[in-house]
Amino acid sequence: MMDHAFATILKTGPGTSIQDLGRIGQSKYGIPVSGVMDERSFNWINHILKNKENEAVLEIAQPGFQIQFEGSTSVSIAGANAKISLNGLEIDNAALIKISPKDTLEIGAFISGARVYLGIRFGFQTQEILNSRSFYEGLTTQNQLSKGSKIPYFSDSEWSHRSFAKAKWTTDWYLSQELSTYPGPDFYLLSEETKTNLLSGTFKISPLSNRMGIQLEEKLENELPELPTNPVYPGTVQLTSGGKIILLAKDAQVTGGYPRILQLTPDSQSILAQKRPGDALHFKLLLP
């Protein structure tokens, strides 16, 4: 039997939000896709919980997160490798955790990766706007959660007490420094020297990175012309005339005037989502 219940955030840093796959098909109205930065982790969670593929999860960008559940349920954690505790006791395998009333879950230090995802059976039931529960400033009533926030969900005591195989989440995949890409619409404008420098170079993530875009520290010299505004998407790699490389993320604008030199694959966007400032990466070009 399902009942309405609430999960209360007891402690959180900045950047905690509700996310799903986002608002697909709304860019013609100027509305970004938004949604989870790391779709690979998101898909794992909903698979383990036997949820529908687009049930909303919590995206947590800082350690020191604590949440208490009002009713019985099951939750799953993926994304960054972090220390997880239930009622003060550390959990070795957080792929599927059974929750009883008043249980408190804590996400501590991040061992590797940049974002932790917390999913729940049937998904978090926050307000749906344009077929998505994803937070986005100016569209949803809030763009991040804070201490004291109450998140609705469906309590299901029968399901939470079933036994399941102990699948274990692994994080080796996002330790790769390689980002696979396709040529962007403006790749052909690059000189052969610039192409070589782009595809042979190693770049580091800049602290100037967020859900809108991720900048790289190293500059790439170029002689690209100014271009009219064109459509852009999550995963589009832009190059400014000053040499800055910007990798657009899920909250990015839907148009931009910088040349679009590359387009990241979906898997590479998930790898990028788990990179921290200072982490190194390089591009691998996949021919269309």
Average pLDDT over residues 30-42: 96
Q: What is the distance between the alpha carbons of residues 207 and 24, in angstroms, rounded to a whole number?
A: 29
Q: Which two tokens stand for residue 143?
A: 């763009």
**What's the whole-number average pLDDT of the chain?**
94
Q: Considering the entire predicted model, what is its pTM?
A: 0.95
Q: Using only the alpha carbons of the chain, give its radius of gyration.
A: 20
Instruction: Say whether pLDDT at 167 is over 90.
Output: no
Q: Averaged over 73-90, what is the pLDDT?
A: 96
Q: What separation in angstroms does the CA of 6 have from each of 71, 150, 159, 229?
A: 8, 6, 17, 44
The pLDDT assigned to 140 comes to: 92
- pLDDT at residue 3, as a whole number: 87
Torsion angle (degrees, nearest 10) of CA 63, 69, 73, 77: 0
Contact of 116 with 80, CB cutoff 8 Å = yes
CA separation, residue 130 to residues 23, 29, 231 (Å) = 7, 11, 21
Q: Domain 176-285: which CATH class? A: mainly beta
Is the predicted pLDDT of residue 233 greater than 90, yes or no? yes
Domain boundaries in the chain?
2-172, 176-285
User: Residue 164 — pLDDT band, cuts 50, 70, 90?
Assistant: low
* Banded model confidence at residue 227, pLDDT cuts 50, 70, 90: confident
Q: What is the pLDDT of residue 111?
A: 96
Determine the pLDDT at residue 169. Answer: 85
